[in-house]
Amino acid sequence: MTLHLIKQCAVSLCPQVSRTFHSSSELYKVVQYKLSDIGEGIREVTVKGWCVKPEDTVAQFDDICEVESDKATVTITSRYDGRVTKLYHAVGDIALVGHPLVDIDVEEAEGMPEPTQEVDKAVPEEDVKVVKEASVAEGDETWNKSLATPAVRRIAMENKVSIKDVRGSGKHGRVMKEDILEYLKNKHHQLPVGKSQDRTEPMSTLQKVMTKTMTKSQSIPSFLYCDEVDMSKLVQLKKEIKPYLEKKGIKMSYLPFILKALSMSLLEYPILNSTVDESSQTIIYKGVHNIGIAVDSPSGLLVPNIKNVQNLSILQIAKEASRLQEVAIKGNISPGDLAGGTFTVSNVGSVGGTYARPMILPPEVSIVALGKIQTLPRYDHLGNLYPANTLNASHSADHRIIDGPGTYARPRILPPEVSIVALGKIQTLPRYDHLGNLYPANTLNASHSADHRIIDGATVARFTNLWKSYVENPTLLMLGL
């Protein structure tokens, strides 16, 4: 850094000295600072913002930029003392692991190691080509926003036209006078429309990840299981321990109880805490219960997971769940908090809704969605009606290795068949007869899946109505004997 100070003083006195210092390979050299491997198998990131610009002086551990991956947001720091000479990416660009982020002019005496070629090979050439093409395509709009002469900008301003709305026909997308006139001509011929206009914007990093993950999830042949959970005793327990929790300054929801119950159940049914290795046709049973909790953060849906739930108390689960929700909402979630999940819970009921069809997060094989708690009339074991606190739970499981019935179900058709019916359990629920009198009805929920290529919904409905009439009036079955 001493030589840099001498150089800066010399430049202010005599510009020619600058060329002498800069061209001396014995004193300075330009180093390409490449994006290092940030772990978790991440191969590309989105540049969210720069902390430096060309000609800025940086020291070791100074912030260079902030990047976002499908795991988390990370700040990249400098490993060199020197002067930034070039930025390789604009904000919003994709940066590849092992490829340059910035050029830094450093002192030769620092003896920093040359960038290795091994890292460059971390990303295949075809991937680089795809990313470069995407960057160029996405960059067209950026060029249109900025490239225009003052005269053209004046014409646009006089006609109340935004340059960014005009497609440039000049070099590098430069907006020409003719482009403005053509835009105005076409605008005058357009039919009048309302003030509301369509808006196109690029996907965020999290939205890209959701697209990729959910598309892959859709390929998993899942079995949807739904049931009703009587929360009455848990609601009462929470009321009883509330004074103790308040003295300790602990805020407790129902989620920690549910997560502990799920973990204890996974000990009995470990296949729900596994992954499928299709290449070797094996099932990998996970030794820990890292249960993910879906968090509705400002940047999008995040699923951090609580590690080793099988070894935690309910209070410990509550504290960790609170911490994960807090850092996720603040945008400070770490890659470690997001990695290693083995089972997931979506508490969508905290936002609204009674039932949901959760999508499995690969490579996991199971996910549970919780509805909101409702107070509904139910019968106890003596036949007495009471107000029950109920919660509807929906469970999606990988049907390649997991089976099971429920109250409601979304059964999978077994080829070459075109239809399948799933029957739930029989429940005694309060219902009204044709006179308006309340009576205890024995009800059964049935779900019917049909091949929609050849069978329409109305046909399924009519078939079910006829089948239902036979079951509800069993004496009619005598006609078929």
CATH number for 96: 2.40.50.100
Residues 260 and 390 in one domain: yes
Residue 202 is assigned to a structural domain of this protein: no
Residue 121 is assigned to a structural domain of this protein: no
pLDDT of 132 over the 60 cut: no
Residues 302 and 396 in one domain: yes
Residue 308 is assigned to a structural domain of this protein: yes
Residue 199 is assigned to a structural domain of this protein: no
Q: Which of 187, 205, 238 finishes a domain?
A: 187
CATH, residue 156: 4.10.320.10
pLDDT digits (tens, 9 = 90+) for 45-83: 889 899 999 999 998 888 899 888 876 778 898 888 899
Residues 278 and 382 in one domain: yes
Residues 443 and 399 in one domain: no
Residues 390 and 258 in one domain: yes
Entry pTM = 0.59
Give dist(CA 345, CA 330) in Å, integer: 21
Instruction: Determine the length of the chain.
Output: 481
Locus of tokens 């979506």: 346
pLDDT digits (tens, 9 = 90+) for 174-203: 788 888 888 888 776 555 555 678 889 888
121 token code pair? 């090979």
Residues 86 and 155 in one domain: no
Q: Which of 380, 405, 430 finishes a domain?
A: 405
Which segments within 270-365 are labelled E, that is strand? 274-277, 282-285, 291-293, 295-297, 300-302, 305-306, 343-346
pLDDT of residue 5: 47
Residue 356 is assigned to a structural domain of this protein: yes
Give dist(CA 371, CA 102) in Å, integer: 49
Positive/negative CA dihedral, 94, 100, 105, 106: positive
Residue 226: beta bridge partners?
394, 408
pLDDT digits (tens, 9 = 90+) for 139-181: 444 433 447 776 777 788 888 888 878 888 877 777 888 888 8
456 token code pair? 């329409």
Which listed residue (22, 56, 399, 448) is catalytic?
A: 399
Residues 252 and 398 in one domain: yes
Residues 383 and 244 in one domain: yes
Which listed residue (37, 403, 451, 452) is catalytic?
A: 403
Residues 175 and 101 in one domain: no
Q: Which of 10-14, 309-313, 370-374, 472-476 has the lowest mean pLDDT?
A: 10-14
Q: Which of 344, 370, 405 finishes a domain?
A: 405
Residue 22 is assigned to a structural domain of this protein: no
Neighbours of 78 (CB within 10 A): 21
How many domains, in total, are found in the chain? 4
CATH, residue 332: 3.30.559.10
Give dist(CA 344, CA 283) in Å, integer: 18
User: Which residue range forms the structural domain that includes residue 444?
Assistant: 408-480
pLDDT band for position 1 (cuts 50, 70, 90): very low
Neighbours of 452 (CB within 10 A): 10
DSSP secondary structure letters along 48-68: EEES--TT-EE-TT-EEEEEE
CB 289 within 8 A of CB 273: yes
399 catalytic per annotation: yes
Residue 98 is assigned to a structural domain of this protein: yes
Residues 247 and 387 in one domain: yes
Q: What is the mean pLDDT of residues 103-130?
A: 51
Residues 326 and 383 in one domain: yes
Give dist(CA 225, CA 269) in Å, integer: 15
> Mean pLDDT in the chain?
79
Residues 320 and 283 in one domain: yes
Give dist(CA 20, CA 444) in Å, integer: 89
Q: Is 473 left (phi over 0), alpha (psi -120 to 50) or beta?
A: beta
pLDDT of 228 over the 50 cut: yes
Residue 434 is assigned to a structural domain of this protein: yes
307 token code pair? 């590690």
89 catalytic per annotation: no
